[in-house]
Amino acid sequence: MTIETWNEEETYALGKKLGEQAEPGQIYALLGDLGVGKTIFTKGFAAGLGVKEAVSSPTFTIVQIYEEGRLPFYHFDVYRIGDPEEMEEIGYEDCFFGEGVCLVEWANLIEELMPKHTVWVNIEKSLEKGFDYRKIEVEYENSGN
Ligand code: ADP
Ligand code: MG
């Protein structure tokens, strides 16, 4: 599914809608360059799950856990990870294969760790359509896999 957004609020709203629909055990991978809107999307997603606390990028902790929503929410930002082994050290498997919902910014950096059932969300700019335009592709697992 491809969605076009023309401002930050629309990207937030898409994240919120997906957060409202999220199910236990799901994992979302967010791809896209710096400043494209991954964290904006994530803030909407968290709100959709019922997280009231302000969500910010967990750059220095790799993962931030929010327990107050409809489901446990694990927000990863793996931008600063040097080696996928660091993921083992923080016990990512309990999150990825648990009953909560995970969202991973920069998931391409740990692609080999991403489970088959990952929902891939790719956000891109297209400057000829304007500075605030974003094309957002949401790709659910192929049921054949
Ligand atoms: P990332 O986490 O991908 O590095 P952020 O979400 O932190 O990016 O920042 C995205 C920036 O782009 C914000 O300053 C936001 O206001 C701006 N922006 C402009 N248009 C959009 C849009 N359509 N969707 C999301 N963010 C947008
Ligand atoms: Mg970010």
Write the pLDDT tens digit of every residue in 16-52: 999 999 999 999 999 999 999 999 999 999 999 999 9
The pLDDT of residue 142 is 63
* CB of 124 sitting under 6 A from ligand 1: no
pTM for this predicted structure: 0.94
* CB of 39 sitting under 6 A from ligand 1: yes
Q: Spell out which residues have Cβ within 5 A of ligand 2, the ion.
A: 38-39, 57
Q: Residues 33, 115: contact at Cβ < 8 Å?
A: no
- Rounded to the nearest angstrom, the distance between the alpha carbon of 13 and the centre of ligand 1 is 13
Write the pLDDT tens digit of every residue in 43-76: 999 999 999 988 887 667 899 999 999 999 999 9
Residue 40 alpha carbon, nearest atom of ligand 1: 6
Q: Residues 76, 46: contact at Cβ < 8 Å?
A: no
Q: Find the helix packing angle between 38-49 and 8-21, rounded to 10°.
A: 40
- pLDDT reading at 123 higher than 80: yes
Q: Residues 145, 8: contact at Cβ < 8 Å?
A: no
The H-assigned helical ranges of 22-114 are 38-49, 85-89, 92-96
- Rounded to the nearest angstrom, the distance between the alpha carbon of 110 and the centre of ligand 2 is 16
